[in-house]
Amino acid sequence: MIRPVGDFATPKRAVYLLGPAAIGAVITGLVAQRGMRSREGADPFRARMGVALGTTAVVLPLILLIWVIWALSQVQP
């Protein structure tokens, strides 16, 4: 088995990087989409994908976290 090397070997630290990266993708996507409004032939596909993927990267972990908290609260001691 190959073990990852470095501080980002644990999933916890990787999650800490996911949040800011996802928020950055949403913000830069919205800024790029706003900048493309004035251009006639511009295709805002990449800007929309940045917003969609960033939103997904923020919302899915939150849903998973809420579900895990709920599931753990249902466990009988």
Predicted TM-score (pTM) of the model is 0.61
19 falls within a domain: yes
- Per the structure, the count of domains in the chain is 1
Distance CA 43, CA 53 (A): 17
Task: Please identify which residue in the block is written with the tokens 């800007």.
Answer: 47
| pLDDT tens sequence across 3-21 | 555 555 555 555 666 778 7
Instruction: Determine whether 10 is exposed, middle or buried from the number of CB atoms within 10 Å of its CB (0-12, 13-18, 19+).
Output: exposed
Distance CA 28, CA 46 (A): 11
24 falls within a domain: yes
For residue 49, the enclosing domain spans: 10-73
1 falls within a domain: no
Mean pLDDT of the chain: 76
Q: What is the largest CA-CA distance in the chain?
A: 63
Distance CA 10, CA 73 (A): 25
